[in-house]
Amino acid sequence: MTKVIESLRQEAPARIDLINPELPTEIVELIHDLLQKRPEDRPPTALAVMNRMKAIRAGLNRLATQVAIEGDTLGPHSDRSAKDDDAKPTSLSFVDEKTLGQLDDGAGTSARPAASDQLTVEAGDSSKLGTAADRKPAKPHNKQASAPSAAPRSVAHPRPPQPTQDAAHQSTHFRTVEDQERLRGLLDQPPVDGQPSRVWQILSILAMLAVLCSGAVAFIYALRKPGPDQLYELVMQAQESGDTDTFRARADQFLRLYDKDPRRNELIVAMEEMDVYQVIRKLRAQALRIGGVDQLPPEEQAFLLAMEDRRHAPQSSLNRLRQWIAVYAPSGQSIANPSHTVSRQIMIRAAINEIERLQESSPTPGDQRVAELIARMDWGAENLPAKEQREMLQAIIDLFEEKLWAKEAVVESKARLETL
């Protein structure tokens, strides 16, 4: 059993003509190709096999027709040839209705055998040729049968099959499929009537209209000008997240659309602070890349040193920035001076903006804001109990401790808080 299985798997198949030598060579070759082990040696598709079988069938039908015609034209020798044919069947005796008439039952009505194809199955068997009335053999001395003007009988001269295409064309070309059959193949089952298809078309049109309407609404919404509060909120969100590109784009849009908004000056200050922050971050990244701040050029080292304490020691930072401007951008040299490099122009602009911001936040002699805070503390000392006075003084410290202009009021509040 193992040997048989291995032979089936490995060895080449035996040719079918070894079992039945009377089989036609075309049938033997087709079966031999179908039994090949390697897929590339077998026919590629079932359609190719069907085309070859149709070609074989057409050839066998033509051969059977020729044999029948030749047998009828023998004249007096027809009886003897018929007897010889009955005694010894030809090589077409293997063909029957199962092998020829039903090769392509599932291939459609166009591939079914014609009535003339079923007339001849065996060349020597007169029982399968024509109807019962036409099965009588012709008499050898019948002059009417041998006369040229005699009408041919259906058995002696069967009408040859009229295929729509010859065998060579069928074996080398694929059959086309009509549009309706292709549509049915895609939809699997055609609708019973036209109502479902119309409903489907209406639904498709409505869906497309809905998509178009939603796209138009989205486009109009995108073109809509945002309100000032909404746009300002977007600017602040970009600033908090550190997205400098979005922050600058939103801020420029706000300044362009709402130039009279009271928050305009605040936004300009925020943009200047963002510019300073970008310059400082760029210089620090460059210092890390080359091995430290000491490796930077002198102007960049001095700029970073002046910017370090701008939060904790604003007065010291203000003095250093003024000194830096005196060295690298003295009086008479503008930011757009051709002798300045691009990086120096950026640093000069950032230093000037920071100096202006620090000057606005620094205290001035006789600042009215400081006087108002001290007046509040005096009123609390005269009218409030000790507990509420402590709460007021602590609140002033918490609120204005980081404000440079309120430094004097904060110091006074701390001193009074210690005495209570």
Separation CA 173–CA 164 (nearest Å): 13
The alpha carbons of the chain give a radius of gyration, in whole angstroms, of 53
**For position 78, what pLDDT does the model report?**
46
**For position 81, what pLDDT does the model report?**
46
Report whether 296 contacts 287 (CB < 8 A).
yes
**For position 284, what pLDDT does the model report?**
86
Separation CA 36–CA 385 (nearest Å): 111
3-state secondary structure 326-391: HHHCCCCCCCCCCCCCHHHHHHHHHHHHHHHHHHHHCCCCCCHHHHHHHHHHHHHHHHCCHHHHHH
Q: Percentage of the chain with pLDDT > 70?
A: 65
Q: Which amino acid is at 154?
A: S
**For position 182, what pLDDT does the model report?**
53
Residues 68 and 168 grouped into a single domain:
yes
Task: Please report whether residue 186 resides in a domain.
Answer: no
Task: Please report whether residue 13 resides in a domain.
Answer: no
Structure tokens at 98: 């199962």
Task: Please report whether residue 250 resides in a domain.
Answer: no
Task: Please report whether residue 378 resides in a domain.
Answer: yes
Q: pLDDT tens, 37-63?
A: 888 888 888 898 899 889 988 888 888
Q: pLDDT tens, 64-117?
A: 888 888 776 655 444 444 444 444 444 444 444 444 444 444 444 444 444 334
Task: Please report whether residue 385 resides in a domain.
Answer: yes
Q: Which domain holds residue 408?
A: 368-419
**For position 106, what pLDDT does the model report?**
43
Number of domains in the chain: 3
Separation CA 161–CA 129 (nearest Å): 15
Separation CA 350–CA 328 (nearest Å): 13
Report whether 34 contacts 43 (CB < 8 A).
yes
**For position 73, what pLDDT does the model report?**
60
Task: Please report whether residue 20 resides in a domain.
Answer: no
**For position 96, what pLDDT does the model report?**
47
- Contacts (Cβ under 8 Å, ≥6 apart) of 392: 376, 377, 380, 384
Separation CA 340–CA 407 (nearest Å): 38
Q: Show the low-confidence residues of the chain (pLDDT under 70).
A: 72-196, 331-342, 361-367
Report whether 397 contacts 415 (CB < 8 A).
no
DSSP string, 154-187: TTTSPPPP--SS-HHHHHHSPPP--HHHHHHHHH
Residues 354 and 395 grouped into a single domain:
no
Residues 161 and 133 grouped into a single domain:
yes
**For position 269, what pLDDT does the model report?**
79
Task: Please report whether residue 66 resides in a domain.
Answer: yes
Residues 112 and 168 grouped into a single domain:
yes
Task: Please report whether residue 246 resides in a domain.
Answer: no
Residues 60 and 171 grouped into a single domain:
yes
Among residues 149, 176, 203, the one where a domain terminates is 176
